[in-house]
């Protein structure tokens, strides 16, 4: 397909995003940028968050993994479903009761300034690594199918994409993202359904026939009953619960959109709706992955993993579907990157710079600093995307979940300690505990065959990391109490 035509589609799509940004960011203030003036519509937030939760990794990597793992990923999604409900009815009431702009303010109120800044720092590290890994995956595909044929280098493609995101989030922040994410989620899901329809047509299969074919090849198998496997169903479901608690409920990007809704009840409706739509959409992605595996087997194609979706669409489906695929791919890219840069800017300004407490700064100065931080994170994203290009992992979803296990674990332990106990910890000890837990997890993970034999530590590494953080804080609180008594 003509790369110039695809490039025109990308630029046209971006023009629409800029138009939405212009319409939603007029007269925007810092309050608009951070929490959308607490006037976001819960239905828009719920639908838009589907795109943020899925991202380009789900769009590319989940279908690509079906040929290897079947529908085993759905075990994790069932845990995600439970986790969304825990966020809705445990964490959201806590955030609304304390009237938080940054959710890490809770740690400050409960455990002190050191815990507050440690939590915010771990979020910044976690979201920066996760978002840039997701961004790299989609930019890499756009580079291969469009820009490489035009002689454009990868670094320039990445830089232009980040500049686009920077432009439409620069003023409106959360208020703009609520609307752009809704548009992008619609485009992504529309692309998914259209690609699935054309694959069925190419293979002369109906839905029932395709499901029978998937079952015959073992591609639709969900449950893994081997307790030693990293895909063992109990491990996956439990991991799914805690991944959602950490990566949604304890993540400023995801919660920033929720707390931009005016009332707790509407925010809870948003989360419950998100959980149900998210579950159904991932099932559709897995089904698409099964269709892609059937098609590549029928066509004798060698592509596997993250490369399979683009190879099938661009090599075997009509030009109109290829354009739809590119639009859907971009729609999967932007929600995970635009929200991340906005949330990271918010967290850095509010949590680390203490912008809201700076009475010595004028509103104009606060806005200027916010703009500088926003540009700084865009530059950092560009640098890390180049690092991921150098790493070039064949399955990014596994890498992203592994990064999350190391970086979100301390957040899980900090919040659990704050909510489930009434103990206090010396502030200077908190960062060391939160660094020691993932370091110990890294040692266990690197030596698991020697330590555990046939048993494989998988995504439960996140829970282990949280438990170690919680245990370390508990021990630190005992030491602090004894020091006070002496």
Read off the pLDDT of each residue in 49-57 and give the average, rounded to a whole number. 63
Q: How far apart are CA 461 and CA 442, in angstroms?
A: 9
* Mean pLDDT (whole number) for 232-241: 87
Sequence-ordered strand ranges (E) for 82-205? none
Residue 75 has a pLDDT of 92
Domains belonging to the chain, first-starting first, are 3-400 (1.20.1730.10)
pLDDT of residue 317: 84
pLDDT, average across residues 149-166: 83
Quick count: other Cβ atoms within 10 Å of Cβ 156?
11
Q: For the chain, how many residues are written?
A: 486
Rounded to whole angstroms, the Cα distance separating 234 from 230 reads 10
Backbone angles phi, psi at 40, to 5 degrees: -70, 140
Residue of 222, 218, 180, 199 lying closest to 73 (CA atoms):
222
382-409 average pLDDT score:
77
**Which distant-in-sequence residues (6+ apart) come within 8 Å of 262 by Cβ?**
38, 39, 40
Q: Give the model's pLDDT for residue 68.
A: 82
**What is the reported pLDDT for 171?**
59
pLDDT band at 334 (very low <50, low <70, confident <90, very high): low
Query: What pLDDT does 469 receive?
Result: 94
Lowest-pLDDT range, 56-60, 64-68, 286-290? 56-60
How far apart CA 128 and CA 120 sit, in angstroms, is 12
- Which one of 43-47, 104-108, 365-369, 452-456 scores highest in mean pLDDT? 104-108
List C-alpha distances in Å: 326 to 55, 154, 287, 386. Answer: 14, 17, 20, 22
- Are 21 and 176 contacting, i.e. CB atoms less than 8 angstroms apart? yes
Query: Tell me: the pLDDT tens digits for 419-467?
Result: 999 888 887 889 999 999 999 988 888 887 777 776 667 667 888 899 9
Structure tokens at 248: 């949604």
For residue 114, pLDDT beyond 60: yes
- Whether 109 shows a pLDDT value over 80: the answer reads yes
Give me the chain's average pLDDT, please. 81
- What tens digit of pLDDT does each residue of 254-285 get? 787 777 777 888 888 888 888 888 898 889 88
Say if CB 106 and CB 95 are below 8 A apart. Answer: yes
pLDDT for 28: 54
**Of 237-246, 301-310, 326-335, which range is least confident?**
326-335
Neighbours of 485 (CB within 10 A): 6
Residue 126, pLDDT score = 85
Is the pLDDT reported for residue 380 higher than 60? yes
Of residues 6 and 377, the one with the higher pLDDT is: 377
pLDDT, position 60 = 73
pTM for the full predicted model: 0.78
């Amino acid at each position: 397909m003509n790369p110039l035509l695809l490039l025109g589609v990308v630029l046209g799509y971006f023009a629409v995003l800029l138009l939405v940004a212009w319409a939603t960011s007029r007269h925007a203030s810092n309050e608009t940028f951070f929490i959308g003036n607490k006037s976001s519509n819960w239905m828009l937030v719920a639908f838009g968050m589907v795109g943020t939760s899925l991202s380009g990794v789900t769009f590319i990597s989940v279908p690509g993994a079906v040929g290897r793992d079947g529908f085993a990923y759905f075990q994790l999604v069932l845990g995600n479903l439970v986790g969304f409900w825990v966020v809705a009815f445990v964490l959201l009431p806590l955030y609304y009761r304390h009237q938080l702009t940054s959710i890490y303010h809770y740690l400050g109120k409960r455990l002190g300034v050191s815990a507050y800044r440690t939590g915010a720092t771990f979020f910044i590290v976690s979201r920066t690594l996760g978002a840039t890994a997701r961004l790299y995956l989609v930019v890499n595909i756009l580079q291969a199918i469009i820009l490489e044929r035009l002689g454009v280098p990868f670094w320039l493609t990445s830089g232009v994409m980040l500049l686009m995101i920077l432009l439409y989030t620069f003023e409106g922040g959360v208020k703009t993202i609520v609307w752009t994410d809704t548009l992008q989620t619609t485009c992504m899901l529309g692309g998914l359904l259209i690609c699935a329809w054309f694959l069925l047509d190419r293979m002369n299969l109906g839905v029932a026939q395709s499901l029978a074919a998937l079952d015959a090849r073992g591609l639709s198998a969900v449950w893994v009953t081997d307790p030693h496997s990293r895909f063992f169903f109990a491990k996956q479901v439990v991991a799914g619960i805690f991944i959602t608690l950490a990566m949604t409920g304890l993540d400023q990007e995801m919660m920033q959109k929720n707390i931009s809704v005016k009332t707790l009840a509407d925010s809870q409706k948003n989360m419950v709706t998100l959980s149900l739509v998210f579950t159904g959409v991932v099932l559709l992605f897995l089904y698409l992955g099964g269709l892609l595996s059937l098609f590549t087997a029928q066509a004798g194609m060698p592509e596997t993993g993250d490369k399979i979706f683009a190879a099938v669409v661009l090599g075997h489906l009509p030009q109109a579907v290829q354009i739809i695929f590119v639009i859907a791919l971009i729609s999967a890219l932007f929600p995970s990157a635009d929200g991340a840069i906005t949330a990271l800017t918010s967290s850095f300004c509010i949590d680390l710079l203490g912008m809201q407490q700076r009475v010595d700064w004028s509103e104009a100065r606060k806005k200027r600093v916010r703009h500088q931080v926003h540009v700084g994170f865009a530059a950092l994203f560009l640098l890390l995307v180049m690092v991921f290009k150098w790493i070039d992992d064949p399955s990014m979803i596994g890498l992203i979940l592994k990064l999350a296990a190391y970086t979100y674990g301390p957040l899980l332990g900090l919040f659990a300690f704050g909510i489930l106990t009434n103990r206090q910890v010396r502030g200077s000890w908190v960062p060391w505990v939160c660094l020691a837990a993932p370091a110990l997890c890294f040692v266990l993970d690197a030596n698991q065959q020697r330590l555990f034999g046939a048993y494989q530590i998988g995504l439960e590494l996140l829970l282990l990391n949280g438990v170690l953080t919680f245990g370390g804080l508990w021990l630190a609180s005992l030491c602090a109490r004894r020091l006070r008594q002496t």
